[in-house]
Structure 1
Amino acid sequence: MKFEAIIRTEHGTGASRRLRHSEQLPAVIYGGGIAPIAISLQHNTIINQMDKAKFYEGITLIIDGQEVNVKPQDIQRHPFKPKVMHMDFIRI
């Protein structure tokens, strides 16, 4: 599975809310001895693939033309809506 990701320049609650209103999903990639990267993903693209087991085994994120292999580490969901609020990925 491959997904396009965009590096986020704005951080914080307000920036994350603006992303969610525009159908984006804030996320962070960490691990591998490299500094964490804040990214945003298309919410609908991710949520449609989350019910497949292959999603949790490892996916490829394309960031500025560079491929990064990651696994979902933590997923924060909305309390009652079928939405994902934030995701953490770890490099593999």
Structure 2
Amino acid sequence: MPDRPTIQAEERTEFGKGAARRIRRADKIPAVLYGHGGDPVHLTLPGHDTMMATKVNNAVVELQVGSGRRKQLALVKDVQRDPIKPFIEHVDLVVIRRGEKVTVDVAVTIVGEAAPETVVTVDNQVVSVSADATAIPENVEVSVEGLEAGTQILAGQLTLPAGVELLTDPEWLVVNISQQQSEEALEAELSEAEADAGIEREESDEDEAASGDAEEKPQESDSE
């Protein structure tokens, strides 16, 4: 479990796109803190410290807010990132308290190597769990070491840390291990697909030709 970072936060009273742009130009990040029935608190966070803290999933941070440095634990709920530039546009934080349970999605991480000539497919990248707010696992590791083709790992078979409860349907397929196709089989499939495409093109050309002949055929006159 990584150390919980401390972030110096300032309350803000300016809102809107213009205010957000000014905050970002100062290498800071606009954020909002909410939860436990209280009014949302709009914050400004330091850019570098926030970027480092949000590198892990479900990060829990300790905020020191305002001139009085009021301390508050918070779960990083959502991070909005610029689609092109490497910076954070906005952060949503949820108030948490020691000892309470929170519901989060935890990433599934594959470790080990399956048996030769197999393909490992992760059908569900995350699972939903209930965990202590101050002990949220960063991920759930799934070992596929030496597993043979045909092996399936369901959500209910995952090994979770103590105190973490699975909320995802236990019957959900998480990892599937299948037999790798040989080069010969792949080439045969490709050849068959190309042959089918060729037949479809020929049939389409024949239909177009028949349609063209019908349109060019002169109409017989009903008059004598």
Distance (whole Å) between structure 1 residues aligned to residue 9 and residue 53 of structure 2: 15
Quick check: 1:84 aligned with 2:88? Answer: yes
Q: Which residue in the other structure is 2:122 paired with?
A: none
Using the TM superposition, give the Cα deviation of residue 51 of structure 1 relative to its aligned residue in structure 2, in angstroms: 2.2
Using the TM superposition, give the Cα deviation of residue 61 of structure 1 relative to its aligned residue in structure 2, in angstroms: 0.4
Distance (whole Å) between structure 1 residues aligned to residue 75 and residue 10 of structure 2: 17
Select the structure with the greater relative contact order (CA < 8 A; seq sep ≥ 6).
1
Q: Give structure 1 stretches of 5+ with no counterpart.
A: none
Is the CA contact 2:54–2:76 (under 8 Å) kept in the aligned structure 1? no
| Secondary structure, aligned partner of 1:44 | helix
Identity of aligned residues (%): 31
Q: Which residue in the other structure is 1:58 paired with?
A: 60
Distance (whole Å) between structure 2 residues aligned to residue 49 and residue 81 of structure 1: 18
| Secondary structure, aligned partner of 2:44 | strand
Distance (whole Å) between structure 2 residues aligned to residue 30 and residue 6 of structure 1: 15
| Secondary structure, aligned partner of 1:47 | helix
TM-score, normalised by the number of residues in structure 1: 0.91
What amino acid does structure 2 have at the position aligned with 1:3?
I
Q: Which residue in the other structure is 1:42 paired with?
A: 46
What amino acid does structure 2 have at the position aligned with 1:35?
D
Using the TM superposition, give the Cα deviation of residue 81 of structure 1 relative to its aligned residue in structure 2, in angstroms: 1.3
Q: Which has the higher strand share?
A: 1
TM-score, normalised by the number of residues in structure 2: 0.39
Distance (whole Å) between structure 2 residues aligned to residue 14 and residue 37 of structure 1: 19
- CA-based RMSD of the aligned residues comes to 1.2
Cα deviation per residue 1:2-39 (whole Å; 9 max; x = unaligned)? Answer: 11000011011100000001101000000111100000
| Secondary structure, aligned partner of 1:48 | helix
Using the TM superposition, give the Cα deviation of residue 57 of structure 1 relative to its aligned residue in structure 2, in angstroms: 4.0
